Chains A and B, each alone.
Chain A
């Protein structure tokens, strides 16, 4: 009898163990495609980049191991640091500009009112255009001889001589800012809108009953409760701006007079104009470290304060 009980209780146990092992295997199988993608398209290329950055690696011919020489060269590469400085300046300006436009738009389209969907679509539209196509479009709009802005202003009699917007730094830089805001603000607006909509209506109503004005409500309720949304929008905007390349390459070619060379543009030039792939890889690693550090700082700044849940 005891032997029978033993034999009847044992199998379910064994089956359970096998089942747990199998479930784990099935779990692994489920994530395998994602892991494979990340390995092939992120981890291996990243490792390869790090490996290349330790070499003198020309586009053609033999490559040679040179240790950290590329990184020492970066320290003396004033044009890279200038490019990084410009990238930082651009990132600050464009991020402020995007939020200054996207936030009011988000507040405007958040509440249901007539034609809201039309406005949402309308504001979001430019976001679905690729950066390269948008840059080509604007490079035509900004053209002094056959474009839109300058010839239109001239034909309307606003200016008495056609003005080349792309010939000097300030107008060229602000033209790019305008283009990027036009292109990106709609996307940021949608992110901010979801944050606004997740704020419970009764909180706002309670504040109104307590006599809080719109600015007080915005500062004390809206902003704190949108912390996470803001963090997401901010990190996306900052990361996107630090990696800016297309618009400066296509519209300005880094001009006027190389004043709008961004960090990625400089990496591209070193790798594919000067054919120094190893040096380009080292620059990429430096930029990656900077970007990760900046993202961590932003997450830390926008972390949830103690005691608030």
Chain B
């Protein structure tokens, strides 16, 4: 709640600040609430140093897509938008975005921009989105609880067997303490933190171009068995079964959870809001070692036909400078320029380095119907993960999800 009030206050401050600058050209930019920490700071820094100005609006996560669609239909869309990168293909497919291929390729550092972002920002060989903010999935563990359980507090799990064994030892401390936590009814959380387990073991849930669902794999079944066995041994709080993402971060932050898959955002959030939790950060491992990560975050996209293209480009250029990348890193996003990432993270918590490395080699599924397949609370992915982690019929759930996902992909508008 305090967080929300802070966000609202920030929005108000930013909106108020935007009013006094009528003389120069002003471009309007939207960002989802996830960016409410770093976005106002980078906009402020830009506005102070430039004649042209940016006016920022912060929109609640769940509302930004419908709101943007309505605004675009009514001709009042913002000039640019910091958009959850997985939506870039569907926005581009709808013909809503400005083609920025030539400009993007003219950037001297184009080759070192986050590859996952550029891949989702590309539709039919044209570039419609460039990386803006980044978040990678990682595994975090509670060092204090590890120590109490007789484990080495400096060494996180490096394969699935170690995750299960460590979680069991922590769980044995008893009381309110539980070994492991995940949001068992949240599709978005689990595409972010559960699929890397599969990727790191050599499997995948979608073909590279997003045209085939490939759920029925030994890697997926193996990862399911890992989670199921921990649920069965009661290492996971009962609330996980119905958590639609509200406790994704809060459960670990309360200090009673041994291990939890999470994201780089947790580093900034734990450091500033829960300084008493002593935690470690490591990669999400594969069955027998190796690791993978979901490369998430926002792509910067430009509304088709905007007249403020010059301002928007100048702003993005500023965001890609060392100053811009440092501001991003300091307030909760990973740098998106690989060549200066080390410099931008230099003075920050060393745990960011792990997340930055995870980001650089991270993966992002590509689909124009990502929302329907994965993020929707009533979509096939969300339904399947809940059934396979807690239900009785794993085979049936996988088969059902495979069929539903493929039919959604096949029915998607072909353009």
- Residues of A at the B interface (CB closer than 8 Å) are 58-62, 143-146, 161-164, 166-167, 253-258, 261, 265, 269, 272-275
Interface centre among B70, B237, B239 (most CB of A within 10 A): B239
Give bound CA distance, A144 to B246, whole Å.
14
Decide: A253 and B185 in contact? CB cutoff 8 A.
Answer: yes
Instruction: Please name 10 pairs of A and B residues whose Cβ atoms are closer than 8 Å in the assembled complex, sorted by A.
Output: A59-B69, A60-B68, A167-B241, A253-B377, A255-B386, A256-B386, A257-B391, A258-B378, A273-B372, A273-B376
B52 within 8 A of A: no
Q: Given known contacts A60-B94, A167-B390, what 6 new A-B pairs fall within 8 Å (CB)?
A: A60-B68, A61-B95, A145-B238, A253-B185, A269-B378, A274-B376
**Quick one: which of B339-396 are within 8 Å of A by CB?**
371-372, 376-379, 383, 386-387, 390-391
Decide: B371 and A273 in contact? CB cutoff 8 A.
Answer: yes
> Which one of B95, B239, B376, B413 contacts A144 once the chains associate, using CB atoms below 8 Å?
B239
Q: Shortest beta-carbon distance, B232 to chain A, in Å?
A: 13
Give bound CA distance, A187 to B227, whole Å.
46
Residues of B with C-beta under 8 A to A275 = 65, 69, 371
B244 within 8 A of A: yes
Decide: A144 and B242 in contact? CB cutoff 8 A.
Answer: yes
Residues of B with C-beta under 8 A to A269 = 376, 378
Residues of A with C-beta under 8 A to B371 = 273-275
**Quick one: which of B170-212 are within 8 Å of A by CB?**
185
Give bound CA distance, A253 to B383, whole Å.
11
Decide: B376 and A257 in contact? CB cutoff 8 A.
Answer: no
Give bound CA distance, A143 to B243, whole Å.
9
Interface footprint category on B: 20 to 34
Residues of A with C-beta under 8 A to B66 = 59, 272
Residues of A with C-beta under 8 A to B383 = 257-258
> Which one of B91, B378, B390 contacts A254 once the chains associate, using CB atoms below 8 Å?
B378
CB 8 Å contact bits of B216-258 with A (1 = contact, 0 = none): 0000000000000000000001110110100000000000000
Q: Shortest beta-carbon distance, A102 to chain B, in Å?
A: 30
Decide: A261 and B95 in contact? CB cutoff 8 A.
Answer: no
> Which one of A62, A146, A167, A274 contacts B95 once the chains associate, using CB atoms below 8 Å?
A62
**Quick one: which of B53-90 are within 8 Å of A by CB?**
65-66, 68-70, 72-73
Decide: A256 and B242 in contact? CB cutoff 8 A.
Answer: yes
Give bound CA distance, A258 to B376, whole Å.
11
Give bound CA distance, A257 to B184, whole Å.
11
Decide: B378 and A261 in contact? CB cutoff 8 A.
Answer: yes
Residues of A with C-beta under 8 A to B72 = 60
Given known contacts A253-B378, A275-B69, A167 and B372 CB-to-CB distance under 8 angstroms: no
Interface centre among A61, A146, A254, A275 (most CB of B within 10 A): A61
Residues of B with C-beta under 8 A to A161 = 238
**Quick one: which of B115-153 are within 8 Å of A by CB?**
none
Residues of B with C-beta under 8 A to A163 = 238
Decide: A274 and B239 in contact? CB cutoff 8 A.
Answer: no
Decide: B239 and A145 in contact? CB cutoff 8 A.
Answer: yes
Residues of A with C-beta under 8 A to B68 = 60
Residues of B with C-beta under 8 A to A61 = 94-96
- When C-beta atoms are compared, the residue in chain B nearest to A270 turns out to be B372
> Which one of A60, A162, A167 contacts B242 once the chains associate, using CB atoms below 8 Å?
A167
* Closest 5 A/B residue pairs (Cβ): A59-B69, A61-B94, A145-B239, A60-B94, A253-B377
- When C-beta atoms are compared, the residue in chain B nearest to A265 turns out to be B378
Residues of B with C-beta under 8 A to A59 = 65-66, 69-70, 73, 94
Residues of B with C-beta under 8 A to A143 = 239
Given known contacts A253-B185, A256-B386, A275-B69, A166 and B94 CB-to-CB distance under 8 angstroms: no
Decide: B239 and A164 in contact? CB cutoff 8 A.
Answer: yes
Decide: A255 and B372 in contact? CB cutoff 8 A.
Answer: no
- When C-beta atoms are compared, the residue in chain B nearest to A56 turns out to be B413
Residues of B with C-beta under 8 A to A261 = 378
- When C-beta atoms are compared, the residue in chain B nearest to A73 turns out to be B411
Residues of B with C-beta under 8 A to A256 = 242, 386
Give bound CA distance, A145 to B390, whole Å.
17
Q: Shortest beta-carbon distance, A233 to chain B, in Å?
A: 32
